[in-house]
Amino acid sequence: MRKKFIVLAVLILCVTVSGFAEDEYTLENALDMVWLFLGASLVFIMQAGFAMVETGLTRAKNATNIVMKNLMDFCFGAIVYWAIGWGFMYGTVGLDAAGDAIPGKFIGLSDFFKNIMDDPVYYRDWFFQVVFAATAATIVSGAMAERTRFKSYLIYTCFISAVIYPIQGHWIWGGGWLSELGFHDFAGSTVVHSVGGWAALMGALVLGGRLGKYAKGSNGVVSVRAIPGHNIPLAMLGVFLLWFGWYGFNGASTLSGSSPDIARVCVTTTLAASAGAISSLVFSWIWFKKPDASMTMNGALAGLVAITAPCGVVSPGAAIIIGLVGGVLVVLSVEFIDKVLKIDDPVGACSVHLTCGIWGTLAVGIFGDLSILDNGLTRSGQIGAQALGVVSVGAWAAVTSLILFLLIKATVGLRVDPKEELVGLDITEHKSEAYAGFQIFSNT
């Protein structure tokens, strides 16, 4: 049965890559179109999920600012990904002797500002890809919440969507060097989540903590203050929306509506997310003596991020293990980044997307069915390929985003003034309140 599927998949790919054959738009093409369209729409609603999670887990005085960042990183991201990003990610670098396009090893260099009228395959694939690019970009807004200059965030977001994300994406999904080595990342634990996570970590590092977050006492010891979010139900709504959208994220990453792998993906995604929430809940309950809401929510997201790479190649049991480990890792990571590294990530974005993105990528090597991966690698070879991907993409994303944030800091400035931060970014950056009419305590 599998052989037939592969033949089918190869046929689909041929049609996909070369455009529909003249005079032919089969029902199979049509099903793929519908599948990818609806899958991409589901991924789009993850933008709302991110917006609600990040708003809910931060303070009321910055709520307008956060949702504005979440809207605008998609909007700017979509335009620059059309103009520039797509070309870097899926462009080619010339023609071979036979006249076929050659994909670059490290970068694509064609199809910028692609303004053609009639190319359903390009249109379809661009739509499916742009929502992934936007996901990587929007991860960062949470980690940089409550203290970043709005203008500077917009500059950052154009760069990640135009340059940082697409180039490493080319290595893995655009036919570049990592894909040639057998690196497997089904839906983007590395391509999307770890890249967003690295940029988030660098952004939070360059910014420094929010006012009052880390206070040096007279004895020289730095105390860490928890700053609670202002709307837990909204954050939970965001978690549900993210989970909902993730079915498109992982499911439609089969890229074909005719793939029976859709079925496995839906089961592994559901089980890993559930297991992640459970282990975060139990672990934080034991550790902190309370079933913590924000840890548990991040646990569900941790399971989702972790299963994103391996969702197509692992069994239900393995998915549960991947989720359980992810849920524990996210709690440890939140504490480590906050208490040890003293990097202020208000919503835990680095722990969810970076830590668990790495874990999920490695889990492909540990738990992946080699006969499904079917790339000639042994188990240790697969683990090595995954680790290489983690390290190389990590180096690329961390270095480029660090440079970017330092450059922004040195020029237009990255952070608002302390006075503005105290008042809140809604008033100082946007001249409006998020909750006009409500009595809200001034909270440092």
Stretch that binds a second copy, among 72-80, 97-105, 215-223, 383-391 (CB under 8 A): 72-80
CA–CA dist 443, 431 (Å, integer): 18
- The amino acid at 321: I
Site for a second copy, residues 98 to 137, rule: CB under 8 A: 113-124, 126-127, 130
Is 224 among the residues that bind a second copy (CB under 8 A)? no
Stretch that binds a second copy, among 73-81, 164-172, 384-392, 411-419 (CB under 8 A): 73-81
| Residue carrying structure tokens 């089961």 | 267
Candidates 10, 13, 17, 31: give the one binding a second copy (CB under 8 A). 31
Question: Rounded to the nearest 5°, which phi and psi values hold at 215?
Answer: -115, 125
Is 287 among the residues that bind a second copy (CB under 8 A)? no
Greatest Cα pair distance in the chain:
79
Site for a second copy, residues 163 to 222, rule: CB under 8 A: none
- Which residue stretches of 144-230 are H helix? 150-159, 165-172, 177-180, 195-207
Question: Rounded to the nearest 5°, which phi and psi values hold at 97?
Answer: -55, -35
Is 264 among the residues that bind a second copy (CB under 8 A)? yes
Is 48 among the residues that bind a second copy (CB under 8 A)? yes
- The amino acid at 365: G
| Residue carrying structure tokens 């924000």 | 294
Nearer to a second copy by C-beta: 212 or 228?
Answer: 228
- The amino acid at 25: Y
Is 4 among the residues that bind a second copy (CB under 8 A)? yes
Cβ at position 444, least distance to a second copy in Å: 11
Is 148 among the residues that bind a second copy (CB under 8 A)? no
Is 382 among the residues that bind a second copy (CB under 8 A)? no
Candidates 15, 82, 160, 173: give the one binding a second copy (CB under 8 A). 82
Nearest to 53 by CA among 133, 141, 165: 141
Is 76 among the residues that bind a second copy (CB under 8 A)? yes
Nearest to 184 by CA among 49, 374, 420: 374
Nearer to a second copy by C-beta: 150 or 336?
Answer: 150
Cβ at position 394, least distance to a second copy in Å: 29
Nearest to 49 by CA among 109, 135, 152: 135
β pairing state of 92-95 and 101-103 = antiparallel
Q: Read out DSSP for 378-417?
A: -HHHHHHHHHHHHHHHHHHHHHHHHHHHHHHHHTT-SB--
CA–CA dist 8, 5 (Å, integer): 5
Stretch that binds a second copy, among 42-50, 215-223, 380-388, 412-420 (CB under 8 A): 42-50
Binding mask 310-349 for a second copy (x = CB under 8 A): -----xxx--x-----------------------------
Site for a second copy, residues 398 to 437, rule: CB under 8 A: 426, 429-437
Candidates 15, 53, 60, 144: give the one binding a second copy (CB under 8 A). 60
Q: What distances in angstroms separate CA 79 from CA 114, 131, 162, 364, one per listed residue? A: 11, 12, 9, 33
Stretch that binds a second copy, among 74-82, 99-107, 196-204, 213-221 (CB under 8 A): 74-82
Cβ at position 429, least distance to a second copy in Å: 7
Estimate to the nearest angstrom the gap between the alpha carbon of 336 and the chain centroid.
Answer: 21
Phi-psi region of 424 (alpha: psi -120 to 50; beta: other; left: phi over 0): left
Is 229 among the residues that bind a second copy (CB under 8 A)? yes
Candidates 155, 181, 237, 388: give the one binding a second copy (CB under 8 A). 237
Is 38 among the residues that bind a second copy (CB under 8 A)? yes
Cβ at position 76, least distance to a second copy in Å: 7
How many chain residues touch a second copy (CB under 8 A)?
A: 129
Joined together, the tokens standing for residue 270 give 């559901």
Is 273 among the residues that bind a second copy (CB under 8 A)? yes
Stretch that binds a second copy, among 189-197, 198-206, 240-248, 397-405 (CB under 8 A): 240-248
Site for a second copy, residues 354 to 373, rule: CB under 8 A: 369, 372
| Residue carrying structure tokens 């006249």 | 99
